[in-house]
Amino acid sequence: MKVFVTRRLPGDALERLSAAHEVELWEDQLPPPPAELRRRAPGLEGLLSMLTDPVDADLIAAAPALQAISNYAVGVDNVDVEAATARGIPVGNTPGVLTDSTADLALALMLGIARRVAEGDGYVRAGEWRTWDPRLLLGDDLHGATVGIVGFGRIGRAVGRRCRGFDCEVLQTSRSGGVGLDELLRRSDFVTLHAPLTPETRALIDGDALARMKPTAYLVNTARGPLVDTDALTRALHDGEIAGAALDVTDPEPLPGDHPLLRAPNLLVVPHLGSATHATRERMAAMAVDNLLAGLAGERMPNCANPEAYDRRAGATRRAP
């Protein structure tokens, strides 16, 4: 079958896909423009997409032969899952595999912003370090701090385990329980976001939420950029409403080099590195290819975000003359 893969992947998983199907690979480092995806849509039977690729209802409608979508990510918020389900198209994702790598990065960002690591590196490289000074680049401790975890799924729980190793008091809020968000914001020295992006969580951390945080507290986001109101965060950093922010994800993403947020003080930003280890990214590639191979074979994907698509497909088959 004809398959389009929107970026080269680490490891050898694409070799397995190419051995079974006709694969067209987008070689550019930047994602294919939406118009390019639309141009290829009529002939597509399989699509292996990245989180940066908008697989919307119009694209799905323009691909009448499309049998399976495999998203190289845990989340599928770039895919119109409802439109895919209506067509009986399964949508694969890669859950679980990046839990520990992302949790590690969340701790790295907490330490990096609180201990001013990037600022210190820049200070040395600029030739400004001339002597040891007891007042130089003073930061804040993670050990013994109160860490508030917003979203207590796999990654949130993994972050909590790591924080307890630093003798932190861990607060959590999620749909399944914990403390209220207001209490968490008010009490936490670090607020770290691990909630999924939904209509309810979009701009969850807005101006009011930032104002409820301690002026000595740090915000960390390794989940999804739109959980945070970017303009409100920019103002809060400039006004000193919070001590700092460390972001692996942004809104917009990628963040343009001239974006106002990048001129805010006490900010650490990295380019969506949560899963960026050799082992994790290669395992994600293997999972994404496994999902696509199963979907194209008419079998259940090992990891499917919309299993109800199979019920829709089975119903359509029963109704066919």
Q: Cite the active site residues.
A: 224, 253, 272
Cβ distance 193 to 221 under 8 Å?
yes
DSSP annotation of 42 reads G
Crossing angle of helices 117-125 and 99-114, in 10° steps, is 60
* Whole-number Å distance between alpha carbons of 140 and 253: 29
DSSP class per residue in 91-152: EE---STTHHHHHHHHHHHHHHHHTTHHHHHHHHHTT---S--TTTT-----TT-EEEEE--
Closest C-alpha to 109, from 210, 262, 219, 215: 219
Which residues have C-beta within 8 Å of that of residue 164, sequence separation ≥ 6?
A: 170
Q: Which two tokens stand for residue 103?
A: 């949790």
Q: Which two tokens stand for residue 97?
A: 């595999």
Cβ distance 284 to 275 under 8 Å?
yes
Closest C-alpha to 68, from 77, 52, 58, 55: 55
Strands 46-50 and 2-5: parallel
Crossing angle of helices 99-114 and 154-165, in 10° steps, is 50
Half-sphere exposure of 252 (CA within 13 A, CB side): 8
- Collapsing DSSP to helix, strand or coil, 36 comes out as helix
